[in-house]
Amino acid sequence: MKITRPTLLLDEKKCKENIGLVYKKAKKNNIDFRPHFKTHQSIEIGTWFKDIGVKKICVSSLEMAKYFAKQWNDITVAFPTNILEIDTINELSEKIQLNLLIESKETISFLKDHVKHKIGFFIKIDVGYNRTGINPNDISLINSILEISKNSENIDFNGFLAHAGHTYKCRSKNEILAIHEKSKQIMLGLKALYIEAYPDLTLSLGDTPSCSVSEDFSGINEIRPGNLVFYDLTQNQIGSNSIEQIAVAMACPIVAIHKERNEIITYGGSVHFSKDRLENQAEGIIYGRAVEKKENGWGAIIPDIYVKSLSQEHGIVSVPNSMIDNYKIGDYLMILPVHSCLTANLMKSYTTLESKEISRL
């Protein structure tokens, strides 16, 4: 493989294995797998899901929904509905089954007055992450939203949707499972309350840690993990995946070596990785970890080689004195990203280990 610039390498085999694992888990639990495509943002990677039987997807913006609507006809925009984009909503819902998220009376009222074609909506429930969503005990607000949506022939209530993003603070499988169990109970409680009035009511849960670690989704109807397509160092620290499952690595040319301070400077900075970070006591803040180069891809983490700082184009990589002579200017390092969603979002394309270029939005 010829590397000349920072290049986001994609291990297609690992990626397909990651997708396959969750797909099988969903099948086994008899629930739908509605993958979140905000991580890869690629029509072509989307076909890898389609090929194994996935039929519905999730995205985080109407812009992404427009892009994927070329190939997918059931898309949930898992973000509080932005009423300023009503024109795009009407354009999309004419063509596909578009599902939106509602967490206020204002938004559902606006939609009732302005949608021209049938849309579905989920009521977003806050299961403890405290970012968006309605407090599950606020039955009065839920009822008001449902009341407003009634008698509108273009607005269908799909069910309740939650994202247990507080699993990102977990550092063990048991912590993740405890949050997942609580989220499930909250959602099942709502189902019990509303199933009579809405027999087709769907419960949708989403975070990658829960979907990676839990085997029990009883009563849930669909899962929406996204990051699992690639995984990353953050998900590994949470406990979602092994290092071997991480399916993307950035190839970063070495442009300078500073032995006197045990540092290698790579071409690969914050405009390639973004600036999400991890922290640990021994190393401080890190922005990526080097892995061994293999003939066809990459292998294990090289202990003690990590990205300690990022400028716009520079990566400052800490390399132990005993290993620094293994590298020379003109080589490249392979770096696992801290947060693959933001890294992928910055790169214009992926390069598979077979040197195939895969484009994205």
Interacting residues with a second copy (CB under 8 A): 3-5, 38, 60-61, 63, 79-85, 87-88, 103-104, 106-107, 110, 130-132, 135, 165, 253, 255-258, 260-261, 265, 267, 270-271, 274-276, 309, 311-314, 316, 328-330, 332, 341-342, 345-346
* 55 vs 275 by CB, closer to a second copy: 275
- What is the distance between the terminal CA atoms of the chain, rounded to a whole angstrom? 24
CB of 270 vs a second copy, minimal distance in Å: 6
CB of 133 vs a second copy, minimal distance in Å: 8
* 19 vs 317 by CB, closer to a second copy: 317
Helix (H, G, I), strand (E, B) or coil at 4: coil
CB of 103 vs a second copy, minimal distance in Å: 6
Helix (H, G, I), strand (E, B) or coil at 274: coil
* 204 vs 227 by CB, closer to a second copy: 227
Q: CB–CB of 56/71 below 8 Å?
A: no
CB of 269 vs a second copy, minimal distance in Å: 9
CB of 216 vs a second copy, minimal distance in Å: 27
* 4 vs 151 by CB, closer to a second copy: 4
* 111 vs 302 by CB, closer to a second copy: 111
DSSP state of 321: T
Helix (H, G, I), strand (E, B) or coil at 59: strand
Q: CB–CB of 193/159 below 8 Å?
A: no
* 99 vs 221 by CB, closer to a second copy: 99
* 153 vs 260 by CB, closer to a second copy: 260
CB of 347 vs a second copy, minimal distance in Å: 12
CB of 219 vs a second copy, minimal distance in Å: 27
DSSP state of 41: -
Hey, which residues does 335 pair with through a beta bridge?
250, 290
Closest CA to 337 of 291, 303, 296: 291
Tokens of 181: 């169990």
Helix (H, G, I), strand (E, B) or coil at 114: helix
Helix runs in the chain, H state only: 12-28, 43-52, 62-68, 86-95, 105-114, 139-149, 173-194, 208-213, 233-238, 270-273, 340-346
